[in-house]
Structure 1
Amino acid sequence: MARITYAATDPSPPLLGSSMLVPHQSRAAGCQYLPLRSPLITEAEGGIRVGGSFWWQTGPYQQDLGAAFRQAQEQELAKDDHGFPGRTMDHLWEDEGWQEYIFTGGTGTVLDLVDVVEPTDAGGGPFVRPLTDREVRAWAPTGQPTYADWVDAMDSETLRFPARGCGNCTVLYDDGQPAHIGYWGVTAD
């Protein structure tokens, strides 16, 4: 069983709509923030394993989580096309060059994922899976987590990252109203 230890060395949360990687601590690396392209070092039974990088970001809220996810992807792609100019997400996922780019490093954003699946889908990636109500209430008892609740759950390891090449999401609330979608995942590399 792999264990990651996070360090809360930067108390300031990222801006809404921004993407960030999670700080961690390991025997080999000490406490640091992982750069986007660096491997994640984990302590696994008897050794150190190298693999995908953790990321998290927020996107706009829509009641239809699939539509909200596509909007977050469009916004992210508008900020950086990663060397694949003038293409939609549908066209990118048909491009073998894009697929290789994602599966050998990725972007560390919602662009690494194809679509939203059902909350009970345990199939894997590259998909984003919304948390079930029960999963949300495990770290946000009201069932309406705020951005601060989400960050606290990530920092405290109450909220876990999915497997490589996968993502999760949940609605984030402000004054009791849905305001944003929180996305987090692990690159496929």
Structure 2
Amino acid sequence: MPAPASPGELFENPVYWEFMGTSGTHSVLDVDRVIATEDEHDFGTVRPLSVAAIRAGFGSDQPSLADFNGMDPGDLDALEEAPRWSGHCMALYEDGVPCALAFWGVSGD
């Protein structure tokens, strides 16, 4: 397939949607929307990690970038279950102030 001229063309062209829906890109491009924490995961979604899972996994409501980077990827995935082609996100803090967003998940096989 030819490379799209813009992200808009990628999302507007049904040929690309068919490809992404059946094969995916195996990248962050496979995730096209953020849903609410209480919503059920669906194909192509990122859901904020619940406060309960953040507390259980990090021992704090405001984990730092160092806390996040110190987590084993398997432990991150175990905090809350997410199906393939979806993921989670959460705010990271420095001195009580949000300083970064973390995203992780599983795309593809």
- Tell me which interval the TM-score lies in, with the shorter structure as reference length: 0.7 to 0.9
**Structure 2 CA distance for aligned equivalents of residues 117 and 124 of structure 1:** 9
Candidates 27, 51, 55, aligned match of 1:108: 27
Residue aligning to 1:124: 42
Report Cα offsets for 1:36-87 as digits up to 9, x if no partner.
Answer: xxxxxxxxxxxxxxxxxxxxxxxxxxxxxxxxxxxxxxxxxxxxxx922223
**Structure 1 CA distance for aligned equivalents of residues 22 and 105 of structure 2:** 13
**Structure 2 CA distance for aligned equivalents of residues 176 and 151 of structure 1:** 18
Change (3 A) 1:114 1:120: same
Structure 1 alignment gaps of length 5 or more: 1-81
Which has the larger share of strand?
A: 1
Q: Percent identity?
A: 30
Structure 1 segments (4+ residues) deviating >4 Å? none
Change (3 A) 1:97 1:147: farther
Structure 2 alignment gaps of length 5 or more: none
Candidates 168, 174, 180, aligned match of 2:88: 168
1:185 match: secondary structure: strand
Which has the larger share of helix?
A: 2
8 Å CA contact 2:62–2:93 kept in 1: the answer is: yes
Instruction: Using structure 2 for the length normalisation, give the TM-score.
Output: 0.77
Instruction: Using structure 1 for the length normalisation, give the TM-score.
Output: 0.48
